[in-house]
């Protein structure tokens, strides 16, 4: 949806740029609102039923989007689609079903799968939309959602008996947990800077004369180091039980990538380097943060904890995307400056660390 939604949705009857933006953003807003309640529900009633219900809502909302005849119907359907916010439940389930000694590797493999799906979506979305339209693309999403629902209903592994008897945790102790605060700050900062970065990054390439249809080649190049290097690096760190260096390297490469973008947006080599460096640092944190989070929280609170975690991520994504245009309007280099400053401030607030005891 990302590369083509606005271009197609603006053609709906009654659509304007503002209403098209609402139709685009209301999905993320609904996801943000429902992450914590559904995570909390999975702690009380189990991961499997919440996953099935959430995927069903996503599928039904996708069908509604495909059937929408005007922009107002599309907005309502997108909101329903976003209520299937089971990302936090999936993270909690993955933690339940993996040993602490290999959990970071499991999150890394999951991250590679998600990243691969993202790349396929970026490349395939425009091609599919050209042949089946935006409504057809929504039907494809509905089919994938219902397929995932069937798999969750029929093939989802059972938790270990000891975890089934784990008492649920209250919401307030998780939100105020001192050791979790650096993780929540990290996902907010990384999500904010990612959306801010990729709001302006393609514009910098088009300013250099690159055609929009050729941007996929840039993304393949900058994503490649992360695809090749993140998993072996994280696996090695987990086997040694030493994460202090990867945590610092992730922050440093993300910050240097932003700094290079700030000073070198007019040079294609520096644009490639900045994109690859920032995305490598970002990707390095994606398996580490949920692993650290779930290792600090017993199974009875993981759904709620991952709900809070994904909530802060969605808030960061929303703010980064919304502020990108305003900052760019003030000054062409202001988004990159804000990104660098936020990453530097994050370092002084405190980077996350591996828990002393894991569960």
Cβ atoms of 38 and 85 within 8 Å: the answer is: yes
Average pLDDT score over the chain: 85
- Residue 112 within any structural domain of the chain: yes
Query: What is the pLDDT, as a whole number, of residue 162?
Result: 47
pLDDT at 53 over 90: yes
- Residue 338 within any structural domain of the chain: yes
317 lies in which domain range? Answer: 5-154+167-347
CA atoms within 13 A of residue 158's CA, in its CB half-sphere: 5
Burial class (CB in 10 A: 0-12, 13-18, 19+), 88: buried
For residues 285 and 296, the model is more confident at: 285
Q: Give the tens place of pLDDT for each residue, 5-24.
A: 777 888 899 988 778 878 87
pLDDT at 100 over 90: no
Could you tell me the pLDDT band of residue 277, with boundaries at 50, 70 and 90? very high
Q: How far apart are CA 171 and CA 177, in angstroms?
A: 10
- Residue 116 within any structural domain of the chain: yes
Burial class (CB in 10 A: 0-12, 13-18, 19+), 165: exposed
User: Rounded mean pLDDT of 110-117?
Assistant: 77
pTM across the whole model: 0.77
Could you tell me the pLDDT band of residue 59, with boundaries at 50, 70 and 90? very high
Query: What is the pLDDT, as a whole number, of residue 170?
Result: 63
- Residue 135 within any structural domain of the chain: yes
Torsion sign, CA atoms 208, 211, 216, 220: negative
**Burial track 194-226 (b if 16+ CB lie within 10 A, e otherwise):** bbbbbbbbeebbeeeebeeeebeebbeebbebb
Residues in the chain, overall count? 359
Query: What is the pLDDT, as a whole number, of residue 356?
Result: 59
- Residue 358 within any structural domain of the chain: no
Report the SS3 class of residue 102. helix
- Residue 354 within any structural domain of the chain: no
Which residue has 């919401």 as its token pair? 171
User: Rounded mean pLDDT of 188-202?
Assistant: 86
Question: Which CATH number do you get for residue 333?
Answer: 1.20.1250.20
The alpha helices in the chain, defined as continuous H runs, are 5-9, 17-45, 47-67, 71-82, 87-96, 103-155, 161-164, 171-175, 181-207, 215-240, 244-264, 268-296, 299-330, 334-349
- Residue 133 within any structural domain of the chain: yes
Burial class (CB in 10 A: 0-12, 13-18, 19+), 188: buried
**Residue 136 corresponds to which tokens in the numbers above?**
């057809």
Max Cα distance, the chain (Å): 60
**Residue 316 corresponds to which tokens in the numbers above?**
């960061």
Residue 92: count of CB within 10 angstroms of its CB: 30
pLDDT at 121 over 50: yes
User: Rounded mean pLDDT of 86-90?
Assistant: 86
Calculate what percentage of the chain has a pLDDT beyond 90.
Answer: 33
Could you tell me the pLDDT band of residue 314, with boundaries at 50, 70 and 90? confident
Q: How far apart are CA 254 and CA 280, in angstroms?
A: 7
Q: Give the tens place of pLDDT for each residue, 156-185.
A: 876 654 444 555 666 677 777 778 899 999
User: Rounded mean pLDDT of 120-140?
Assistant: 85
Question: Minimal CA–CA distance to 351: which of 271, 300, 284, 295?
Answer: 284
Torsion sign, CA atoms 295, 251, 267, 195: positive
User: Rounded mean pLDDT of 98-123?
Assistant: 78
pLDDT at 248 over 60: yes
- Residue 229 within any structural domain of the chain: yes
Report the number of distinct structural domains present in the chain: 1
Q: How many angstroms separate the first and last alpha carbons of the chain?
A: 38
Q: Which of 86-95, 139-148, 263-272, 331-340 has the highest mean pLDDT?
A: 139-148
Report the SS3 class of residue 256. helix
Which residue has 């700094």 as its token pair? 259
């Amino acid at each position: 949806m990302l590369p083509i939604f606005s271009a197609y949705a603006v053609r709906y009857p009654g659509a304007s740029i503002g209403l098209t933006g609402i139709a685009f953003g209301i999905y993320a807003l609904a996801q943000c609102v429902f992450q914590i309640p559904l995570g909390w529900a999975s702690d009380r009633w189990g991961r499997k039923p919440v996953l099935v219900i959430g995927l069903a809502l996503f599928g039904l909302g996708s069908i509604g989007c495909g059937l929408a005849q005007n922009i107002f119907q599309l907005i309502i359907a997108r909101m329903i689609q976003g209520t299937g916010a089971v990302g936090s439940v999936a993270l909690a389930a993955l933690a339940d079903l993996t040993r602490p000694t290999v959990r970071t590797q499991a999150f890394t493999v999951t991250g590679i799968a998600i990243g691969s799906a993202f790349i396929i979506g970026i490349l395939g979305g425009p091609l599919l939309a050209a042949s089946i339209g935006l409504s057809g693309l929504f039907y494809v999403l509905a089919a994938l959602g219902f397929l995932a629902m069937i798999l969750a209903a029929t093939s989802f592994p059972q938790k270990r008996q000891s975890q089934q008897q784990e008492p649920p945790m209250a919401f307030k102790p998780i939100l105020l947990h001192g050791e979790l605060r650096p993780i929540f700050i990290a996902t907010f900062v990384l999500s904010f800077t990612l959306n801010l970065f990729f709001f302006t990054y393609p514009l910098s390439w088009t300013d250099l004369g690159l055609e929009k249809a050729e941007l996929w080649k840039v993304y393949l190049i900058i994503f490649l180091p992360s695809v090749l290097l993140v998993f072996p690096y994280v696996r090695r760190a987990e086997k040694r039980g030493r994460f202090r260096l990867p945590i610092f390297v992730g922050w440093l490469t993300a910050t240097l990538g932003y700094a290079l973008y700030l000073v070198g947006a007019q040079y294609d080599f520096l644009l490639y380097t900045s994109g690859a460096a920032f995305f490598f640092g970002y990707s390095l944190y994606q398996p580490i943060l949920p692993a650290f989070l779930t290792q600090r929280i017993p199974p009875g609170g993981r759904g709620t904890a991952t709900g809070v975690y994904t909530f802060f991520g969605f808030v960061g994504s929303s703010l980064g995307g919304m502020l990108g245009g305003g900052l760019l309007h003030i000054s062409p280099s202001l988004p990159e400056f804000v990104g660098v400053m936020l990453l530097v401030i994050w370092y002084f607030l405190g980077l996350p660390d591996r828990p002393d005891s894991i569960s």
